[in-house]
Structure 1
Amino acid sequence: MPELPEMETYKQQLHTILAGKRIIDTDIQREKSINVASDLFMKELNGAVIIKIDRRAKHLIFHLSTGKYLLLHLMLGGWMYVGTDQDAPKRTKQITFTFDNVKLYFIGLRLGYLHLHNKQTLEEELADIGPEPLENNFNIDSFQELLEGRRGMLKTTLVNQHVIAGIGNCYSDEICYEAYLLPDRGLDELSKEEKEKLYSAMVSVLTNATQLGGYMENPLYKGDQLTGGYNDHCLVYDREGMECNRCHSKIIKTEISSRKTFFCPGCQK
């Protein structure tokens, strides 16, 4: 599932390509992917200009010239492609936007969605999401305060969108590894120094992953050299049985609260 770095990469690239462009036509092949009737959705979208694209947690927010918003969550298996029918992937597209010279294809939205909102309903939808971990005002003091008195394991806390926004399976494991901490450690067991390491690891991993384009393998457009660049830089995620780069122990895969989890038993404590 795309996480903060993947969605931030999408946001930055899509804003560059699509901001200021008018939606000429909308094609909906799966009505379950939207939250209103198809004819109303197309009426609201056709002729609207995409003013800008923002990200909140694992969501993208398309600001429309009509004053409405599109809220996208790709969920598991969802991705996007910008191009033409000639170079687009040979996959089923649930929704397609046509612009003057390109199309935006939403692919794999079997669990994901693209919902139309006004300002009030958008704010209500996003109201219970935790702070953005890379925001300038979310510093070590904010992080310590956020964890104060909280119980539970590192893994389940990091992926809890009500606590911290945008972190999922992959980066929770990478963050724990970077901090030398086992993902099943209890928050109430962590020392102040370990929490400081955890915060530093979170910022470092998410920043690096975003700069490298995240781990999504599918390119956003023909010739895309950024998207998926982090895929070869994961140090524990999906590396079961491979050697740890630090201590050469074998990476282990387990499950924590039904989530696949990867860690090094040698150097994570």
Structure 2
Amino acid sequence: MPELPEMENYRTRLSEHLIGKRIQEITITREKSLNVTVEQFRQHVEGQTIVAIDRKAKHLLFNLESGKVLLLHLMLGGVMYIGGEGDAPKRTKQVTFIFDDCSLFLMGLRLGYLHLHSLDQVEEKLRDLGPEPLDDSFTLDAFYKLAEKKRGMLKSALVNQKFISGIGNLYSDEICYQSCLLPQRKVQELTIQEKQALYRSIQAILKRGLTYGGYMDMPVYKGDLLTGQYNQHCYVYDREGELCKRCDSKILKAKVASRKSFFCNNCQR
């Protein structure tokens, strides 16, 4: 599932190509992705210009000139591509936005949803999300206050969207590795020094994910050489049996909080 770096990468690249463009036509092959009828969706979206694309946690918000917002969550297996029918990947296209010079394809058998809302409805739907970890307001002191109230395993806390938004399975493992903490550790048992290391690691790993274009396995458009480069730079995720880059011990894989997790049992404590 795309996490904060992947969705921010999408936001940046889509903004470069689609801001100011008018949606000429929409093709919908999966009606379950919508929260209104196809007819209502077309009525409110066709002919509209995209004025801004924002991100909140793992969601993208396509702001239309009418004031309506398209709220997108890709869930498992969802991907996007900008181009034409000739160069589009051979994947199931569930929703297609057709512009005058290109199309935006939303693909994947398990695309989450693309809902039409007012701005107030979007704010209500997303109000329970935790703080954005790369916002200026997410300070060390703010993190201390959050962590004071949290109980349970570190892995569970990091992927809990009501605790901190945007972190999922991959980056939670990378964050634990960077901070030298095992994902099985209990949040309430962390020392002040360990909380400091965890906070710094959250910032560093997510920024690293952005630098390498996230881990998505498909470019956003033809000639996109950045998207997906994090796959070649993972510290522990999906590296079971390979050597730790810090201590040369073997990377282990285990179920932690009912999720697959990768870690070094030697230098993570």
TM-score by length of 1: 0.99
Contact 1:8–1:210 (Cα < 8 Å) also in 2 = yes
User: What one-letter code is carried by the residue in structure 2 that aligns with 1:64?
Assistant: L
Aligned-pair identity in percent equals 57
Map residues 21-170 of structure 1 onto 2, 5 A cutoff.
21-108=21-108, 110-170=110-170
| Cα distance between partner residues in 1 of 2:122 and 2:147 | 27
| Number of residue-to-residue matches in the alignment | 269
User: What one-letter code is carried by the residue in structure 2 that aligns with 1:260?
Assistant: K
User: What one-letter code is carried by the residue in structure 2 that aligns with 1:22?
Assistant: R
| Cα distance between partner residues in 1 of 2:79 and 2:25 | 20
Aligned to 2:8: 8
Contact 1:48–1:64 (Cα < 8 Å) also in 2 = yes
Contact 1:240–1:252 (Cα < 8 Å) also in 2 = yes
Aligned to 2:186: 186
How much does 1:226 deviate?
A: 1.2
Contact 2:92–2:109 (Cα < 8 Å) also in 1 = no
User: What one-letter code is carried by the residue in structure 1 that aligns with 2:141?
Assistant: D
Aligned to 1:262: 262
| Cα distance between partner residues in 1 of 2:109 and 2:83 | 18
Residue 226 (structure 2) pairs with residue 197 (structure 1): no
Aligned to 2:250: 250
User: What one-letter code is carried by the residue in structure 2 that aligns with 1:37?
Assistant: T
How much does 1:109 deviate?
A: 5.1
- Unaligned stretches of 5+ residues in structure 1: none
Residue 139 (structure 2) pairs with residue 171 (structure 1): no
SS of the residue 1:54 aligns to = strand
SS of the residue 1:262 aligns to = strand
Deviating 4+ runs (over 3 angstroms): none
Contact 2:237–2:261 (Cα < 8 Å) also in 1 = yes
Contact 1:75–1:109 (Cα < 8 Å) also in 2 = no
TM-score by length of 2: 0.99
User: What one-letter code is carried by the residue in structure 2 that aligns with 1:191?
Assistant: T
| Cα distance between partner residues in 2 of 1:195 and 1:23 | 47
RMSD of Structure 2 on Structure 1 (CA):
0.7
- Unaligned stretches of 5+ residues in structure 2: none
